[in-house]
Amino acid sequence: MLAALVLLNTVELVGVVVVGPGFWISVSVTGTLLVVYVFHLRNRALQERRRRRLEAREAAWLAARQAEVRREQARRAAQRREQQRRLAAQREAVRRAAMGVDSSLPAASVSYRRAGGLRGRAYEAGRPGTAAHTA
């Protein structure tokens, strides 16, 4: 559209020079249309620039929030890993203490064995209430 108006204005100005002053009326009309169209294009360009600035500002804000969220997620993940590491170390220490390998922790295990040695009687002792066989 801009090129058409510029071309038309140029042709009419050539008509003013070659043919006569009657073309001044059409030059003024197309010149006015050209100025109005250029003004319209300028306003659209300014609006587009404002829109791009706003989008860039929103994108920067969003990127900052996403970076903040990622930092918080990384912090929480590190905290979870550290907690899991501590829990695994504690379990290992308890396991070692239960096995009697590590003396750094007191053995706080429960034993279900009798203190008096073997359970029950020897096989050779025979049944209760009967005399043992001698061979």
- Residues 68-121: pLDDT tens digits? 999 999 999 999 999 999 999 999 999 988 888 655 555 555 666 655 555 666
Mean pLDDT over 7-21 rounds to 84
**pLDDT at position 123 over 90:** no
Percentage of the chain surpassing pLDDT 70?
Answer: 75
pLDDT bin (cut points 50, 70, 90) of residue 7 is: confident
For the chain, give the secondary structure using H, E and C.
CHHHHHHHHHHHHHHHHHCCHHHHHHHHHHHHHHHHHHHHHHHHHHHHHHHHHHHHHHHHHHHHHHHHHHHHHHHHHHHHHHHHHHHHHHHHHHHHHHHCCCCCCCCCCCCCCCCCCCCCCCHHHCCCCCCCCCC
pLDDT bin (cut points 50, 70, 90) of residue 15 is: confident
pTM of the model: 0.47
Please give the mean pLDDT across all residues of the chain: 83
Q: What pLDDT does residue 9 have?
A: 85
Enumerate the domain spans of the chain.
2-92
